[in-house]
Amino acid sequence: MFYSTRYTYVYYNPPKYPARRSSFDLFLLASSTLRIPKSTLHTHKFPPISISAGFAGLYQLYRLRALGLSVKIFEAASGIGGTWHINRYPGVRTDCEAVIYQYDLEEVWKDWTWKDKYPSGEEIQAYFRYVDHKLDLKRDIYFNTRVTGAKWDEPSHLWNVSTASGLFVRARFLILCTGSLSKPLIPNIKDLSTFEGRCFHSSHWPQEGLDLTGKHVAVIGTGSSGIQVIENIASQVRHLTVFQRTPNLALPINQSRFDEKEQVKMKEMDLYNHIFRRLPQTFAGFLYEFQPIPFTSATTEAQRLLWESQWKAGGFHFWLGNYPDIFSDETVNREAYAFWRSKVRARIRNPALHEKLAPIIPPHPFGIKQPGLEQGYFEVFDRENVSLVDVKETPIEQVTPNGLAVRGGTIHTFDILVLATGFDSFTGAIIDIDIRLQRPNSTSVIPRQSDWITDCLKFLQDNDYTRIETKRDAEEAWRYLILEIASKRLWHKCESSWYTGSNLASTNTRPVEMLAFSGGLPLYLEKCAEAADNGYQGFELS
Ligand SMILES: Cc1cc2nc3c(=O)[nH]c(=O)nc-3n(C[C@H](O)[C@H](O)[C@H](O)COP(=O)(O)OP(=O)(O)OC[C@H]3O[C@@H](n4cnc5c(N)ncnc54)[C@H](O)[C@@H]3O)c2cc1C
Ligand SMILES: NC(=O)c1ccc[n+]([C@@H]2O[C@H](COP(=O)([O-])OP(=O)(O)OC[C@H]3O[C@@H](n4cnc5c(N)ncnc54)[C@H](OP(=O)(O)O)[C@@H]3O)[C@@H](O)[C@H]2O)c1
């Protein structure tokens, strides 16, 4: 529901955590690896600092530079790209089309040519290298620089920012672009540290690669990361054991090459500009939209034909191009689920697997949890070297030095354990920073949010303000709106999801509540514009 690079527009700060727009200016953190002389930083007159060199941080840097500000980025990783620099597991790939997963800056897109409709992680890394080359970004980025603390100093209206490397800098504004899915979620499994083979989270796949030939490998987790790992390593390993808690209601990606000539033609016809203007007008920031009528108003023939064509189109069409009432009407949702189930079951030869991978009773309403995009995932389970363990039936009890014990006494043994267990979403990376202000502060930004922040900073500059913070009642009103919109849909029918933080239940680090704005991009942008147009009335300025 909140996808494409633009999906972070619709992300929102959870209650009890800082409102994003609390107190910013520009600020940057630094790294001991780069041996930045402290004096260099102190000679800057409180440069704005942005944390992260992901999609959002890079765009923010570009926009603020254009405002004439001297901005620096502090990035914990060793290179640019955020998600795409960090996640190197086999098969990592986008789940939205290349044409929408890129910057809408003409100076960038005009000379870039994509290879795949859904680019691989490697292709996106190449894209970020190209973006850096075009926009000359790296000169303002300090890599290997993890921000650990940010303390607001009220008398001076400055942030005191500290890093893991012991650096300390001051800045007027601090922008957190720390990513919604950047802090890995390590499951709370007994004796995990006693495993003697290699064990890592999917986002920490060894960057130098890993030869899996002849290895016994286990994967815990069947979310989007898990299914990409599983379908890509099954043919390489000696044996693969998949520990599944919830089946992934995955959709076929329908991958293809993105024809070079077609891209040239699209540019000649000025289609790119039309595409970028269209995206924020759609509910989820995709090029397609929900159907204009509910399922219940369509004829049986029309329903069936639509679903067949969406299935064939692949990607998220069957999710984000579907009838809008699949998200609010459980009976309609069941129909969509039954269609999905029949398509998937037809691909699995072993009938014993049908109930595990595509059960009669849906594990949760279709689309309430983000479906993965797959290419050959379901067929993997028919392979002789692959076993599926249903951890709802036989829960994991503990890790052993060479495997994993499940209820009933069975021990599954393997050499490598991959934790494709997801992320401490939205606020995870922010809470890791010791942020101290009058109230906390939060989340990530992507282009339209960056534009909003840029305009806001310009407003502050023009009006000689040095501090901006959301008012408590404005935060509460925003939270109420989020919850009210969410209450009209079926989100609460899902036991475990990173949209609500319920995936953290076992670690219990925060309350479970809808964390994302699910009212669609146009409404979200309207609300953002309103907040600025009314003179930032929801904020305290000084
Ligand atoms: C495997 C994977 C695939 C995805 N595929 C898609 C997709 O196809 N389409 C889509 O729209 N979205 C996708 N997403 C979501 C993706 O995260 C966003 O599309 C986008 O990359 C977010 O950009 P960002 O800059 O907000 O955050 P990120 O790319 O997550 O960047 C955040 C950066 O902040 C840094 N950071 C965090 N904390 C600190 C700190 N304390 N100090 C310094 N640096 C810090 C991190 O190192 C990281 O580099 C995917 C996510 C994952 C995990
Ligand atoms: N471009 C892409 O295709 C792509 C690829 C990867 C990620 N992403 C993005 O990142 C998001 C997160 O994806 P993700 O796969 O990393 O995380 P995720 O969707 O949260 O999936 C985590 C998986 O781990 C399982 N799990 C967690 N703890 C477990 C435990 N203790 N025991 C057993 N199973 C456990 C979960 O089961 P439950 O379902 O039961 O909780 C789930 O199957 C996606 O929704 C998507 O937005 C996109």
pTM beyond 0.85: the answer is yes
| 422 CB-contact burial (10 Å; exposed 0-12 / middle 13-18 / buried 19+) | buried
Residue-wise pLDDT for 479-537, tens only, equals 899 999 999 988 888 888 888 888 887 666 667 888 888 888 888 889 999 999 989 98
288: how many CB neighbours lie within 10 A of its CB?
16
Record the tokens describing residue 279, joined without a space: 């995206």
Residue 355 has pLDDT above 70, yes or no: yes
Question: What's the N-to-C CA distance of the chain in angstroms?
Answer: 37
Are 212 and 236 in contact by the 8 Å Cβ rule? The answer is yes
Question: Which atom of ligand 1 has the smallest separation from the CA of 118?
Answer: 8
Cα separations (Å) of 306 from 90, 94, 175, 287, 295?
A: 33, 25, 43, 17, 10
Which residue, chain included where needed, has tokens 């919830």? 246
Q: Which residue is closest in CA terms to ligand 1's atom 7? A: 94
Which residue, chain included where needed, has tokens 């690669």? 209
Residue 173 has pLDDT above 50, yes or no: yes
Q: CB of 253 closer than 6 A to ligand 2? A: no
d(CA 327, CA 363): 15
Residue 303 has pLDDT above 90, yes or no: yes
Better-scored residue on pLDDT, 220 or 49: 220
Query: Ligand 2 centroid vs 370 CA: distance in angstroms?
Result: 9
Q: Which residue is closest in CA terms to ligand 2's atom 21? A: 223
d(CA 258, CA 123): 12
What pLDDT, on the 0 to 100 scale, is given for residue 25?
33
Question: Which atom of ligand 2 has the smallest separation from the CA of 503?
Answer: 41
Average pLDDT, integer, range 56-73: 91
Q: CB of 373 closer than 6 A to ligand 2? A: yes
Nearest residue to 9 via CA among 425, 471, 528: 528
**Taking the mean position of all CA atoms in its chain, how far away is CA 382?**
30
What pLDDT, on the 0 to 100 scale, is given for residue 509?
63
Residue-wise pLDDT for 371-428, tens only, equals 999 999 999 999 999 999 999 999 999 999 999 999 999 999 999 999 999 999 988 8
Q: CB of 76 closer than 6 A to ligand 1? A: yes
Q: CB of 389 closer than 6 A to ligand 2? A: no
Which residue, chain included where needed, has tokens 């790939």? 93
Better-scored residue on pLDDT, 6 or 250: 250
Residue 36 has pLDDT above 70, yes or no: no
Strands 49-51 and 174-176 turn out to be parallel
Position 21 confidence tier, pLDDT thresholds 50, 70, 90: very low
d(CA 124, CA 446): 16
Question: Which atom of ligand 1 has the smallest separation from the CA of 53?
Answer: 49
Question: Which atom of ligand 2 has the smallest separation from the CA of 202?
Answer: 16
Record the tokens describing residue 53, joined without a space: 């060199």
**Taking the mean position of all CA atoms in its chain, how far away is CA 176?**
15
Query: Ligand 2 centroid vs 481 CA: distance in angstroms?
Result: 27
Residues above pLDDT 70, as percent of the chain: 88
Strands 158-163 and 396-400 turn out to be unpaired
Helix (H, G, I), strand (E, B) or coil at 283: coil
Domains of the chain: 20-80+137-182+426-541 (3.50.50.60), 251-419 (no CATH)
Residue 13 has pLDDT above 70, yes or no: no
Record the tokens describing residue 181, joined without a space: 């899915």
Query: Ligand 2 centroid vs 369 CA: distance in angstroms?
Result: 10
